[in-house]
A and B are shown apart, each in its own frame.
Chain A
Amino acid sequence: MNALALPTRRQEDWRYSDVEAVALIWPTPAPTRIDVVEGEHARHHLLQDAAEDAAAVHDYVITIADGARCDFHVLNIGGKLGRVTVHVMLGSKAHFELNGAILGGGDQTLEIITSVTHAKPDSTSGQTIRSILGGRATGSYLGSINVARDAQRTDAFQSVKAMLLDRTATANAKPELEIFADDVKCAHGATVGELDKAALFYMASRGMDPATAKTLLLRSFVAGVFDDVADEAVKDAFEAAAIAKLEALV
């Protein structure tokens, strides 16, 4: 296949995407490469808040050397299509941590696609994704974890929770494990839910208008995703953008 051929939804990692929107910006820019050298602790973040009709695709290829660590925070809220892909290769005793939130409304398609390869022994990874989707939005997390034959004692988890505000919104969660070693721990959990009606009535009975009550519940749902952002200015920017987006969604 020609590398520049437009993707189709027959390709697994484009299955839930908006390929019409991606055509607007095809070919997408080359991936951002991040090499975390031995013993380093790198921190990266992406606040994807493209304009309403825009398509934004951000691809990352991250290599984490032996004994190194990379923390990545993603807030995916903007554009008609907002797509973030992260390919990670972990060395021995390396760690990768992804904390991401997807907040979408209207007819947005927002996705986080990861592929984490544990290539050597004793590496660990954690991925926590929280999605809130209203209107006719589609939010997807596709995450594959690949454990090589030599990568004994790999410890990996994926925690994916989605909240649907409207029956017309869609959440896709697709963890995928490919394991060739025999001494590994790979945990994954995915849930899709709605706002708790009993909680909403309880809050209303105490005086909260529906928007205040919903925003408070949704804030608590995504709280924690950005708790460990080290840079306070980045953390504040993420929280402010997330709250503004939630207020627009409810």
Chain B
Amino acid sequence: MLTIDQLSNDIDGKAILKGLSLTINAGEIHAIMGPNGAGKSTLAYTLGGRPGYDVTGGSATFDGADLFAMEPHERAAAGLFLGFQYPVEIPGVSNLQFLRESLNAQKRARGEKELNGGEFIRLAKDKAGLLGLDMEMLKRPVNVGFSGGEKKRAEMVQMGILDPKLAILDETDSGLDIDALKIVGAGINAIMRKPDKAVLLITHYQRLLDYVKPDFVHVLAGGRIVKSGGPELALELEREGYAEVVAA
């Protein structure tokens, strides 16, 4: 589904990713772990197309198409979802308005029929229920006044409504207490653990992986993948620390 080959970039003249390669197939859940400053968030933003995260080398192919030739909104319409470590607040725009515009923009881009108000509300209710988020929250402006946990749950409601093929989740577990972590983990499984979908989880900690079991775990350090393995690698990292595992 996603093939990243020798990806390099620089941010403000500083090389961050240095030849990163990774292949994710449909039906797989991959976790990328790594120390602070390894380039984890940069990878997420680069795949999402954030301005300023320009690619200087390598390629990424998403469902057979050149990912970097697409604008950010085209990547979303093609089925890519980027979960933000720090979801953005948008005063004056309600979650429902935001999501309906997003979903219908995607549907227009794919030549599908847009949802009317009633259809959209039913879908939103269903997905909000899945994440235990009150519909009243969705009437409020996007992320404004939400706690850290509420923002992350709202992100997962967005993912449920937009129904992507590939979700890249950048530290979705940060700022979550144990109960919220369980709910978010269950949400990711319910929405994304399907044969035709895939997930790239970016995280510092093993704890999210207790709830969302990865098929593959990769260690990102110094701008490239330095080690890959199964779920046991995450436990080893938790036990030994990054320095040990990276050096080994």
Q: Measuring CB to CB, which residues of chain A are less than 8 angstroms from any residue of chain B? A: 196-199, 201-210, 212-213, 216-217, 220-221, 223
The interface residues of chain B lying within 8 Å CB-to-CB of A204 are: 49, 71-73, 76
The interface residues of chain A lying within 8 Å CB-to-CB of B2 are: none
Q: What's the nearest-Cβ distance from chain A to residue B205, in Å?
A: 24
CB-contact partner of A208 in B75, B81, B102, under 8 A: B102
> What per-residue 1/0 map shows which CB atoms of B71-111 lie under 8 Å from chain A?
11101110001101001111111000111011101100100
B7 is an interface residue with CB less than 8 A from chain A: no
Q: A206-B98, A207-B106, A208-B105 are in contact. Are A199 and B162 (CB under 8 A)?
A: no
The interface residues of chain A lying within 8 Å CB-to-CB of B106 are: 207
A199 to B73, CA, bound (A): 13
- A202 lies within 8 A of B103 (CB): no
Q: Sorted from nearest, which 7 A-B pairs have the closest CB atoms?
A: A220-B92, A206-B102, A207-B106, A207-B76, A204-B72, A202-B88, A204-B73
A206 to B48, CA, bound (A): 10
Q: What's the nearest-Cβ distance from chain A to residue B167, in Å?
A: 12
- A197 lies within 8 A of B98 (CB): no
The residue on A at minimum CB distance from B76 is A207
The interface residues of chain A lying within 8 Å CB-to-CB of B92 are: 217, 220-221, 223
Total contacts A to B, CB within 8 angstroms?
76
B50 is an interface residue with CB less than 8 A from chain A: yes
B46 is an interface residue with CB less than 8 A from chain A: no
A196 to B90, CA, bound (A): 9
- B50 lies within 8 A of A216 (CB): no
A205 to B98, CA, bound (A): 12
B117 is an interface residue with CB less than 8 A from chain A: no
CB-contact partner of B88 in A198, A212, A216, under 8 A: A198
- A201 lies within 8 A of B72 (CB): yes
B203 is an interface residue with CB less than 8 A from chain A: no
CB-contact partner of A206 in B49, B71, B158, under 8 A: B158
A sample of 18 cross-chain residue pairs with beta-carbon separation below 8 angstroms, ordered by A number, consists of A197-B51, A201-B51, A201-B88, A203-B90, A203-B98, A203-B102, A204-B71, A204-B73, A204-B76, A205-B48, A205-B72, A205-B75, A206-B158, A207-B103, A207-B109, A209-B109, A217-B90, A220-B90
A13 to B109, CA, bound (A): 48
The residue on B at minimum CB distance from A200 is B51
- B72 lies within 8 A of A199 (CB): no
- A207 lies within 8 A of B51 (CB): no
Q: What's the nearest-Cβ distance from chain B to residue A26, in Å?
A: 40
A221 to B142, CA, bound (A): 14
CB-contact partner of A199 in B81, B90, B105, under 8 A: B90
A199 to B102, CA, bound (A): 13
- B97 lies within 8 A of A208 (CB): no
A217 to B90, CA, bound (A): 8
The residue on A at minimum CB distance from B88 is A202
Q: Measuring CB to CB, which residues of chain B are less than 8 angstroms from any residue of chain A? A: 48-51, 71-73, 75-77, 81-82, 84, 87-93, 97-99, 101-103, 105-106, 109, 142, 158, 162
- A212 lies within 8 A of B90 (CB): no
The interface residues of chain B lying within 8 Å CB-to-CB of A208 are: 73, 101-102, 105
A203 to B90, CA, bound (A): 10
- A207 lies within 8 A of B49 (CB): no
The interface residues of chain A lying within 8 Å CB-to-CB of B158 are: 206
A175 to B155, CA, bound (A): 41
Q: What's the nearest-Cβ distance from chain A to residue B248, in Å?
A: 36
Q: A205-B82, A206-B158, A221-B92 are in contact. Are A216 and B76 (CB under 8 A)?
A: no
The interface residues of chain A lying within 8 Å CB-to-CB of B72 are: 201, 204-205
The interface residues of chain B lying within 8 Å CB-to-CB of A196 are: 88, 90
Q: What's the nearest-Cβ distance from chain B to residue A214, in Å?
A: 12
Q: What's the nearest-Cβ distance from chain A to residue B226, in Å?
A: 28
A97 to B161, CA, bound (A): 42
- B91 lies within 8 A of A207 (CB): no
- B162 lies within 8 A of A206 (CB): yes
CB-contact partner of B101 in A197, A205, A210, A212, under 8 A: A212
A208 to B98, CA, bound (A): 9
- B76 lies within 8 A of A212 (CB): no
A76 to B237, CA, bound (A): 62
Q: What's the nearest-Cβ distance from chain B to residue A81, in Å?
A: 30
Q: What's the nearest-Cβ distance from chain B to residue A204, in Å?
A: 4
Q: A207-B73, A207-B76 are in contact. Are A202 and B84 (CB under 8 A)?
A: yes
